[in-house]
A and B are shown apart, each in its own frame.
Chain A
Amino acid sequence: MRSIVLYVTLLVILFISPITVTVAAPAYEMTVFSPNNVIYDIKISGHISAYNTSAREYVYDLRISINGSIMLVSKRLDLNHYAWGANVSISYVVKENNTITSQAELQVPVPPILAVKVGTRKIYLTQIILDVLGGGLQNTSFSEIIRRLPYNKPVPGFYIYNPFYIPINSGVGDKIPYGVYNETAKKGLIINGTIAGEDSVSVPEGTFSAWVVKITAQDILEVIELINGVPIDLPPSLDFGVDFYYEKRSGWLLKVVPYVLGSSTGNSDLEVSTDISGGLTLEKSGTVMVGGRTLIDKIIGLPAYTTFVIVGVIMAVVLVYVVRRRY
């Protein structure tokens, strides 16, 4: 009888222990809060030119090219927050009238200091960031900052909407907020994107079905007008916006495509043209379960959920062995 009670207790603990610690809001895929080894490829090119229509020649030509990558890292800050950091590698070239005027290459490792709240899209600032922004740490050394990192904690009251994921139960027509919000003042600067439809998106890890979230020029202008209090009239030939592509199963960001396209002559004989293309593309999804595959599935090249099956079999074998062995 005692041994039966022991088995039952053991099994209950085994099943309950992981469940109690994996509590997450049902609307989100659990791994989106803790991305590691998630790499985005950045490729943006911009071109602005001014053409004199009477002289029939280009009087100004500016080309900007930005290439690089962002690698996201994260670790748990406390039971309700993950700290996010990144390693950003960027190189850019600026050409004015076909002459390189500026170019640089830099790599910036950012330790995990932004607090993402589990079960939400809220990113809170942490105490260290506020100290640095407020000038409290200006006169302290780098080692002092490192010393304070273990005790870093999220500061409530102000958050940024996380653009890297959306709820998995989203649908066409849903509004997805982007921007910042002050909980104390109950005011924010929020641009609402809209899920306009779905599309098939190809990234280096494969082709995935994705939600398309569109932020149009109108959405952006509404916010600017709200700040300025004055309506803005744009030339009808100018169009700009951003399209976000999120994988449907995980809600994770696959691609960002900003665009600015248009030309304007105004009242002079100078025609100004603008064209910005490129964007952000997911190179590696790392620990985020895009397509249902864990990091180990991706490294070994296994189908979705294979490691869970293997781990389940190992656990079952070990439990059978533990129950059957005798000392």
Chain B
Amino acid sequence: MTKKSFLAGWLISYVVGIPVAMVHELAGMFLGIIIGSLLAASKKGGGAIGFLTAPWIYLSPYIIPLLLNYLQGNLQLFALIILVAYSFLDIFILIITIIAIITGIIFGYIGLRIAKRS
């Protein structure tokens, strides 16, 4: 694992995860983390990618449209704050973040094994 592979994995997890999350947020989140942590190729890197990206990919179908509407002037700041703040107040996000970290560690390890094989 290198810094570059970790950063590439982090970026790729968003690139892959967010478009899929627009259809199904859990599928997008897992695909993003799996691909990202395979690229990161380390347990630590995979776990970090799972922790850093999971809540954002998972909530992207909810937050991105709200931000777009705010930027287009269709939504007042107060409404945006109420709706976005609510989204983070969720016990389910804590659970899926933990699952995402574990998934990241597993696939980071698999990525490392593939890279190190003789």
Contact = CB atoms under 8 A, between A and B. Distances in A.
Interface of A: 2-3, 6, 9-10, 13-14, 17-18, 21-22, 30-31, 34, 36-37, 39, 69, 71, 73-78, 85, 87, 107, 109, 111-112, 146, 149-151, 286-287, 289, 294-296, 299, 307-308, 310-311, 314-315, 318-319, 321-323, 325-327
B114 A17 contact: no
The range of chain B's interface size is: 35 or more
Interface in B6-47: 12, 15-16, 18-20, 22-27, 30-31, 34-35, 38-39, 41
SS of B interface (majority) = helix
B110 to A, nearest CB: 6
Given A18-B20, A34-B25, A74 B65 contact: no
Given A71-B75, A75-B59, A146-B89, A6 B114 contact: yes
A37 to B, nearest CB: 3
A327 B25 contact: no
Given A77-B92, A107-B76, A111-B86, A322 B38 contact: yes
Interface string B68-88: 110000111011001100110
6 contacts: A6-B117, A14-B34, A18-B30, A294-B22, A310-B19, A327-B112
A146 B111 CA distance: 41
Contacts of A323: 114
Given A10-B110, A287-B61, A294-B22, 5 more contacts: A18-B30, A22-B24, A30-B24, A34-B24, A327-B112
Contacts of B61: 34, 36, 287, 295
Contacts, number: 144
B93 to A, nearest CB: 9
A34 B12 CA distance: 24
B24 A21 contact: yes
A214 B43 CA distance: 57
A177 B79 CA distance: 33
Contacts of B56: none
A13 B76 CA distance: 43
A315 B16 contact: yes
A18 B31 contact: yes
B86 A22 contact: no
Given A13-B34, A21-B26, A287-B22, A149 B89 contact: yes
A85 B83 contact: yes
Given A71-B74, A111-B82, A111-B86, A294 B34 contact: no
Query: Which of B26, B68, B86 is the most central at the interface, judged by chain A CB atoms within 10 Å of its CB?
Result: B86
Nearest to A39: B74
Contact of A76 (B22, B26, B30, B76): B26
Query: Which of A39, A75, A289, A326 is the most central at the interface, judged by chain B CB atoms within 10 Å of its CB?
Result: A75
A315 B33 CA distance: 12
A78 B22 contact: no
Closest 8 CB pairs of A and B: A37-B65, A109-B79, A18-B27, A21-B26, A307-B19, A111-B86, A36-B65, A150-B89
Contact of B62 (A10, A31, A74, A327): A74
B30 A71 contact: no
A112 B62 CA distance: 11
B66 A308 contact: no
B116 interface: yes
Contacts of B16: 311, 314-315, 318
